[in-house]
Amino acid sequence: AQSVTQLDSQVPVFEEAPVELRCNYSSSVSVYLFWYVQYPNQGLQLLLKYLSGSTLVKGINGFEAEFNKSQTSFHLRKPSVHISDTAEYFCAVSLTIVAGTALIFGKGTTLSVSS
Protein backbone atom coordinates (compact mmCIF):
# COMPACT_ATOMS: atom_id res chain seq x y z
CA ALA A 1 0.00 0.00 0.00
CA GLN A 2 1.05 3.57 -0.57
CA SER A 3 0.41 6.53 1.70
CA VAL A 4 1.62 10.05 2.19
CA THR A 5 2.50 11.70 5.49
CA GLN A 6 2.98 15.41 5.85
CA LEU A 7 4.75 15.84 9.13
CA ASP A 8 3.76 19.43 9.86
CA SER A 9 0.17 20.61 9.87
CA GLN A 10 1.16 24.26 10.22
CA VAL A 11 4.37 26.11 9.44
CA PRO A 12 4.60 29.77 10.43
CA VAL A 13 7.51 31.70 8.98
CA PHE A 14 8.61 35.27 8.48
CA GLU A 15 8.88 36.84 5.07
CA GLU A 16 12.19 36.26 3.27
CA ALA A 17 13.05 33.33 5.53
CA PRO A 18 13.69 29.86 4.11
CA VAL A 19 11.09 27.16 4.53
CA GLU A 20 10.89 23.40 4.30
CA LEU A 21 7.64 21.46 4.19
CA ARG A 22 8.16 17.80 4.94
CA CYS A 23 6.61 14.86 3.16
CA ASN A 24 7.24 11.16 3.57
CA TYR A 25 5.70 8.40 1.56
CA SER A 26 5.41 4.67 1.95
CA SER A 27 5.55 2.50 -1.08
CA SER A 28 7.07 -0.76 -2.16
CA VAL A 29 7.25 0.25 -5.80
CA SER A 30 8.41 3.19 -7.84
CA VAL A 31 6.28 6.24 -7.34
CA TYR A 32 5.39 9.50 -8.91
CA LEU A 33 5.41 12.33 -6.34
CA PHE A 34 3.77 15.73 -6.53
CA TRP A 35 3.44 18.95 -4.59
CA TYR A 36 0.36 21.11 -5.04
CA VAL A 37 -0.63 24.47 -3.62
CA GLN A 38 -4.18 25.49 -2.82
CA TYR A 39 -5.36 29.02 -2.14
CA PRO A 40 -8.64 29.54 -0.22
CA ASN A 41 -11.71 28.27 -2.05
CA GLN A 42 -9.73 27.38 -5.13
CA GLY A 43 -8.58 24.24 -6.86
CA LEU A 44 -5.08 22.87 -6.86
CA GLN A 45 -2.09 24.22 -8.70
CA LEU A 46 0.85 21.98 -9.46
CA LEU A 47 4.13 23.22 -7.99
CA LEU A 48 6.37 20.40 -9.14
CA LYS A 49 6.57 16.67 -9.67
CA TYR A 50 9.06 13.86 -9.55
CA LEU A 51 8.74 11.07 -12.07
CA SER A 52 12.29 9.81 -12.54
CA GLY A 53 15.78 11.09 -13.21
CA SER A 54 17.32 13.91 -11.23
CA THR A 55 16.31 13.79 -7.59
CA LEU A 56 16.27 17.56 -7.29
CA VAL A 57 13.15 18.93 -8.90
CA LYS A 58 12.57 22.60 -9.54
CA GLY A 59 9.07 23.97 -9.74
CA ILE A 60 7.19 27.20 -10.09
CA ASN A 61 7.37 30.22 -7.78
CA GLY A 62 10.91 29.38 -6.68
CA PHE A 63 10.02 26.09 -5.03
CA GLU A 64 12.08 22.93 -5.28
CA ALA A 65 11.92 19.46 -3.82
CA GLU A 66 14.34 16.62 -3.38
CA PHE A 67 13.41 13.00 -3.80
CA ASN A 68 15.24 10.82 -1.30
CA LYS A 69 14.58 7.17 -1.93
CA SER A 70 16.48 5.87 1.10
CA GLN A 71 14.51 8.11 3.43
CA THR A 72 11.31 7.86 1.38
CA SER A 73 10.99 11.61 1.52
CA PHE A 74 10.06 14.39 -0.87
CA HIS A 75 10.48 17.61 1.09
CA LEU A 76 9.52 20.94 -0.44
CA ARG A 77 11.82 23.93 0.01
CA LYS A 78 12.01 27.60 -0.83
CA PRO A 79 15.03 29.73 0.09
CA SER A 80 13.06 32.93 0.64
CA VAL A 81 9.30 33.07 1.06
CA HIS A 82 6.88 35.87 0.29
CA ILE A 83 3.61 36.87 1.90
CA SER A 84 1.89 35.58 -1.22
CA ASP A 85 3.16 32.06 -0.52
CA THR A 86 0.67 31.80 2.33
CA ALA A 87 -1.50 28.85 1.33
CA GLU A 88 -2.18 25.18 1.88
CA TYR A 89 0.39 22.77 0.45
CA PHE A 90 -0.32 19.16 -0.37
CA CYS A 91 2.07 16.34 -1.10
CA ALA A 92 0.63 13.56 -3.24
CA VAL A 93 1.62 10.18 -4.61
CA SER A 94 0.29 8.49 -7.69
CA LEU A 95 -1.37 5.32 -6.48
CA THR A 96 -2.60 2.32 -8.37
CA ILE A 97 -6.20 1.64 -7.40
CA VAL A 98 -8.87 -0.69 -8.69
CA ALA A 99 -9.99 1.78 -11.32
CA GLY A 100 -6.50 2.61 -12.50
CA THR A 101 -4.17 5.23 -11.10
CA ALA A 102 -5.15 8.19 -8.94
CA LEU A 103 -3.52 10.79 -6.77
CA ILE A 104 -3.60 10.23 -3.04
CA PHE A 105 -2.94 13.26 -0.91
CA GLY A 106 -1.31 13.96 2.40
CA LYS A 107 -3.24 15.90 5.00
CA GLY A 108 -1.73 19.19 3.96
CA THR A 109 0.52 21.82 5.53
CA THR A 110 -0.63 25.35 6.13
CA LEU A 111 2.17 27.77 5.37
CA SER A 112 1.67 31.15 7.00
CA VAL A 113 4.08 33.88 6.00
CA SER A 114 4.08 37.05 8.05
CA SER A 115 6.00 40.29 7.80
Partner 1 sequence: GAVVSQHPSRVICKSGTSVKIECRSLDFQATTMFWYRQFPKQSLMLMATSNEGSKATYEQGVEKDKFLINHASLTLSTLTVTSAHPEDSSFYICSARPYMDGYTFGSGTRLTVV
* Stretch binding partner 1 (CB under 8 A), from 18-26, 62-70, 75-83, 107-115: 107-115
Regarding 44 and contact with partner 1 (CB under 8 A), the answer is yes
Cα separation, 115 vs 33, whole angstroms: 31
Residues numbered 13 to 42 that lie near partner 1 (CB under 8 A) are 32, 34, 36, 41-42
**Which of 16, 58 has the CB closer to partner 1?**
58
User: How much helix, strand and coil, in percent to the nearest 5, is found in the chain?
Assistant: 5, 55, 35
Cα separation, 21 vs 8, whole angstroms: 7
DSSP 51-73: -SS-SEEE-GGG-EEEEETTTTE
**Which of 11, 44 has the CB closer to partner 1?**
44
CB of 14 to partner 1, least distance (A): 23
**Which of 34, 85 has the CB closer to partner 1?**
34
Regarding 107 and contact with partner 1 (CB under 8 A), the answer is yes
R_g (Cα) of the chain, nearest Å:
14
